[in-house]
Chains A and B, each alone.
Chain A
Amino acid sequence: MLPQIAMATGFVLILMGLYGALTHRNILRMIVGFTIADTGVNVVLVSVGYLPGRTAPILDSAVPVADAATRIIDPVPQALVLTAIVIGLGVTALMLAYAYRLFRARHSLDISNFTELKW
């Protein structure tokens, strides 16, 4: 049951984030929305790897190598989520930089002011 709850939370976060990103005209708010959504994604990711009643995939004294397979949770999603986090961070930084340039260009952060390119 636990993973479902985590997962649901993650999805809710995603939807909230997207809602923010799609409704707020202010570029910074949009970016914030996306970071929320990213967080949601990460939550979903880790929640998938979870196995009830198991422990972290570190084979120290707590988990003898022999019965690792039966004691630890799935390590792969954790590895993936790390990557996902870093990438999300990279993109966010990039978007912020862009936001800065856009602001410099027009002293406005309203996305609907940047529509010279269309049709």
Chain B
Amino acid sequence: MVSAIFIIAVGLGTAFLLGLVKSDQKGFAFTLTVAALAVMTWIAYDWTVALSRGTVEPATILTAGTQPPFAINLHIGLAEAWLLTVINATGLLAAFYMRAALCRLGKGAMSVLLVMVMALSGLVLTRDVFNLFVFFELIVIATGGLVLLSEDARAVAAGFKYLVVSQIVSILLLIGIIFTYHANGSLNIDDIAAVPFGLQGASLAMFLVLMALVLELKPFPANGWALDIYESAHPGFSAIFSAASGTAALFAADKLVAAAGPAWLPLMTVIGLFTFLGSNVLALKQDNDRRLLGYSSVAQIGLVFAIVGQRDILGEGYLFVAGGVLITHAVAKAGLYWISGLVPGRGLADWAILRANPVLVFAFASFVAMLVGLPPFPGFYAKWDLMHALAGSGRFWIMALILAGALVEAGYMFRFFGYAIKRETQERFPGFAVDKVAVVVAALAAGWALGFVWGGISLNPNLLTLVPVLFALLFIVLEPLPAWVKNIIAIVGLVGWFWFRMGNYDPLQMIFAAVMLVGGAVILIASFYEHGRRIGFYVPTMLMYAGLALLIEAQTSFDFFAAWEVLTIGSYFLILRGRMGEPHALSYILFSLGGAFLILAGFALASTGVQPFELKSGLSAIAEASVPAAPWVFALLAVGFMTKTASIGLHIWLPGAHAEAETDVSPMVSGILLKAGLYGLFLLVMTMGRQKIGSIDLTEVLVWIGAISALLGGVMAIFQEDAKRLLAYSSISQLGYAVFGLALMNHVGWLLALMFVINHYIYKSMLFLAVGGVYKRTGTKLMYKMGGLITLMPFTFVSVLIGIIAMSGVPPLSGFGGRWLFYNAIMASDLRLPMVLIFISGPIGFLYLFRLIHTIFFGQLKDEHRKLKEAPVWLVIPQMMFVLALLAFAVLPGMALQKVDAYIGTFFGDQPLVWSGRAITSTYGYWSPVAVMVVIGVIFVAVLLLLMSMGLNAQKVKQFNIVFSAERPFKPQTTHFAWNFFAPYRKAVGFLVMPLVTTFWGAVTDTLHSTADFTRRLYTGNGQTYAVQVLVFVVAVYLIVLGGAQ
């Protein structure tokens, strides 16, 4: 092992050595610099590996051959090693990245860079508080130098502001240090730790030291100077400033906090959280990419600092959690800054230029995911453990605040990403510098590697070793292949996995697995109509399916949550692909993440921090023990799941998301994705049953929510002009039925829900494909622009016809089975009023369904459509399969339901349905699908024959050959009654569709934005004001502490 002090020695030595190089030998100087950085990185990396393998012990490095505290000593342990690696690697990559700038300024700049990295390493290594100060000043001065690398003239001002602030900081630090020394006769941090400071007495000295270090962490709102640097500095340096400096400063603060003793932790927590929330909210209003990233950096450091405040409860998990967040942030933020260096424009939308290079888009996506803490990156595992620790020790406020802040951050980061994917850019494409792209790619690789490592360390399964996830990621490699090949692989994969796992499913899982995996495969058949390579479609798709596959089989709460996140990510990118998908994808991801956070909180609460938490047994255990938290767990989880089922109030993302999605994506996200939420609810009610908050039975609340969703979803669907939106709203209604049935908490009710799972999948997928096909041909989704397509698109017409008959519940098709079960279910329940809503919403289905089929296929054919052909065959094939499935399911519902009926029976210990032959008998009534089908069939044929017997000479007449108020119309437009089809209905019940919910959520976001816009004017840009703010911050905290101490 090479002693870690060589990192310092090499850095410094080379910095001095550069002076001997002739100033015109810039290439040589640069090589020297890079070589030095490489050596330093290698040393750090070597230590990291050795320490994690346990082949070496953490080492203390003496100087001057004297024992501490009498001489300065350094220490390298696992944490130090990791951070050193991050810092030096960042420095190395940054050097590559800034090559041009460095060479422009010459060897001086290079030695400054070297000293910078050296000082950062020293900051991490040293155990002496005054030595800490020295390294701090080195960093300050080096920063002051490197800011000059920027071409941006404003950088000079930023640097000066920074120097002003750091002057104040060093004054505080020195006074603090000297009095600390006086107080316990030593400058050695470990000695200080030996004599923990309370909040009284000599604490003032410690307070000053801590405040100085905290100020280096850019606490909100005393951080305007940092933001200015982020905005104006060379992106290569901003990467260092965010990734390396932030990391080192945080570790320094951590050392001192640890030394100061537990009494200080709450204060740190408050400061951290305040920073995290404040900066994230302010970031909402940023339109300059680098400043936005700056705000995000500040916020993230704040988050880690808040975690530092939790070290007392994190135990040995501390390094895993804090390190996870810290290092992920370092990598991601460095990567993002490096990308920003490739983008010529500074507006957020200018990043759209990245689309020229898929790799960069992928990198951008990965970095965003890292920042937001999505799987499979370390932040995800860290977030999970952190929340469990917090829940375990009852720090619910901290949980709530952290999650809220994370949601806000996700908000602007994903909006940013949406711009990059969707917006047009004015910038002319410059062509990306290969070496810079290479640097970004290096960061990308590092990020994924870290994900793998963290997954390995965590006591939960490593997501990057799960077959479905790997299968989905495989498509990254397969991207160059043509779409049809990838499609085949995908279909085979889905069916194969289902086949392979079929043995392990219980009947319930079986239903969901069949719908999600096999069903997914069927929908994928439609994807064959797409030509070319279809970059960026299969990875998210398969990620979604991977998530679903894992969700069904989740054993522990972690498995479930991870799967949930994975499928959320996949579906987000899928929805984002839609033509006008940007805003809807954003609201989707926000609602989904919000829901996911609630679920996370719920699980953490349920497990009281104990991992792994067996999902089913665990939940039922706390339900039986009726622990006070149980109902809250139920509520959190339920709301979380209902973000996916798009129950009313959480539904506003759905219509746009489904309507704007691509033809073959709509059925996926509608027919399949929504079922994930239902599956969650199923697990919930199965394990926890009825939970009461006070006297309110939560399942009854669910009943109401389901009923209201069913009603309002339907009413809103009636008034849509856009066919796909109509279907989308009807999904809300249909899922409402399912939730309703589930929440009835009786056998038939659950069966009803399952029936809807199957039915809704089939006919909604069918209808979306059909409408999609029409859209492909007519080029519009507005129904009143269509009409009379029945003869041109007969197959599509048939599937829509069957679809709406089934959906409206008219016998003999399978929808009726749902209605029949519904009546038996409500008979068994003792609720009354919610049923009324369902009764109202029942017939409403007819309205929008009839409108759908009438305005598209009947009425007057438009002139521009006369030459239309039937929808692409690849779209028709799955539709026909669905038609058959519907008929089969209509005649033999037992096929699918009998097993699961028995299975449900084991929960309620009853068996209300008797399956005798083809007939089904319930407690209250009976239903014989086959008989119904036969009778109707026979009568129909008989009547038809009767009609034909009266002569077959029906004469086909032309389109306008109708008796129309004594004249013959000649324009389809004026004759096709389609727009605002249900005008009278709107007159009567239009008040039901006032967009209250949308208004509400709109108000929420607007408030946040205006707050941000108002607050950020704090940062006047005047260095003096910044200095004042810093002092105000210190004094304010001082007063607070005093108040706390008394």
Contact = CB atoms under 8 A, between A and B. Distances in A.
Interface stretch (B214-222, B1023-1031, B1036-1044): B1023-1031
A84 B174 contact: yes
Contact of A22 (B145, B232, B1027): B1027
A25 B137 contact: no
B171 A119 contact: no
A41 B140 contact: no
A91 B1016 contact: no
B171 A41 contact: yes
B527 to A, nearest CB: 46
B158 interface: yes
Interface stretch (B149-157, B390-398, B425-433): B149-157
B163 A117 contact: no
A9 to B, nearest CB: 14
Contacts of A57: none
A74 B134 CA distance: 21
Contacts of B246: none
Q: Is the interface of B mostly helix, strand, loop or mixed?
A: helix
B1021 A38 contact: no
A30 B198 CA distance: 36
Q: Is the interface of A mostly helix, strand, loop or mixed?
A: helix
B157 A41 contact: no
B846 interface: no
Most chain A CB inside 10 Å of its own CB: which residue of B141, B159, B171, B232: B171
Interface in A70-111: 76-77, 80, 83-84, 87-88, 90-91, 94-95, 98-99, 101-102, 105, 111
B168 A95 contact: no
Nearest to A115: B1021
B847 to A, nearest CB: 51
Interface in B135-188: 137, 140-141, 144-145, 153-154, 156-160, 163-164, 166-168, 170-171, 174-175, 177-179, 181-182, 187
B559 interface: no
B134 A87 contact: yes
A118 B224 contact: yes
14 contacts: A22-B1031, A41-B175, A45-B174, A48-B179, A76-B187, A77-B178, A87-B170, A90-B141, A94-B163, A114-B154, A116-B1021, A117-B228, A119-B285, A119-B1016
A91 B163 contact: yes
Contacts of A91: 137, 140-141, 163, 166-167, 170
Query: Size range of the interface on B?
Result: 35 or more
A112 B1024 contact: yes
Contacts of B181: 48, 76-77
B130 interface: yes
B231 interface: yes
Contacts of B174: 41, 44-45, 84
A115 B195 CA distance: 45
B154 A45 contact: no
Given A14-B175, A102-B156, 13 more contacts: A18-B1031, A22-B1024, A22-B1031, A45-B174, A77-B178, A94-B141, A94-B144, A102-B157, A111-B1023, A114-B1023, A116-B1021, A117-B228, A119-B285
Nearest to A90: B141
B1017 interface: yes
Contacts of B1017: 119
A42 B369 CA distance: 48
B175 A30 contact: no
B137 A118 contact: no
Nearest to B137: A87
B707 to A, nearest CB: 48
A25 B1028 CA distance: 13
B137 A90 contact: yes
Interface of B: 130, 134, 137, 140-141, 144-145, 153-154, 156-160, 163-164, 166-168, 170-171, 174-175, 177-179, 181-182, 187, 224, 227-228, 231-232, 285, 1016-1017, 1019-1024, 1027-1028, 1031
Given A91-B141, A111-B1024, A37 B163 contact: no
Contact of A27 (B153, B160, B168): B160
Contacts of B1016: 119
A115 to B, nearest CB: 3
Most chain A CB inside 10 Å of its own CB: which residue of B160, B166, B179: B160
A105 B1031 CA distance: 29
Contacts of A102: 156-157, 160
Contact of B175 (A44, A88, A99, A115): A44
- Pick the 10 closest A-B CB pairs, nearest first: A118-B1021, A115-B1021, A114-B157, A117-B228, A98-B160, A87-B137, A119-B1016, A34-B167, A101-B156, A48-B178
A87 B226 CA distance: 22
A23 to B, nearest CB: 8
Nearest to B230: A117
Nearest to B286: A119
A103 to B, nearest CB: 10
Contacts of B228: 117-118
A116 B154 contact: yes
Most chain A CB inside 10 Å of its own CB: which residue of B144, B157, B179: B157
A44 B137 contact: no
Contacts of A88: 170
A22 B134 contact: no
Given A14-B171, A37-B167, A83-B134, A95 B1021 contact: no
Nearest to A87: B137
A116 B1021 CA distance: 7
Contacts of B160: 27, 95, 98-99, 102, 114
Contacts of A118: 224, 228, 1019-1021
A83 B173 CA distance: 14
A115 B1021 CA distance: 4
Interface in A41-62: 41, 44-45, 48
A115 B253 CA distance: 30
Contacts of A18: 168, 171, 1031
Contacts of B187: 76
Nearest to B148: A101
A48 B231 CA distance: 42
A115 B1017 CA distance: 12
Contact of B1022 (A34, A84, A105, A115): A115
Given A48-B179, A48-B182, A91-B140, A105 B156 contact: yes
Contacts of A116: 154, 157, 1021
A117 B144 CA distance: 17
A78 B1022 CA distance: 37
Contacts of B141: 90-91, 94
Nearest to B167: A34
A117 B1021 contact: yes
Contacts of A115: 157, 1020-1022
B200 to A, nearest CB: 20
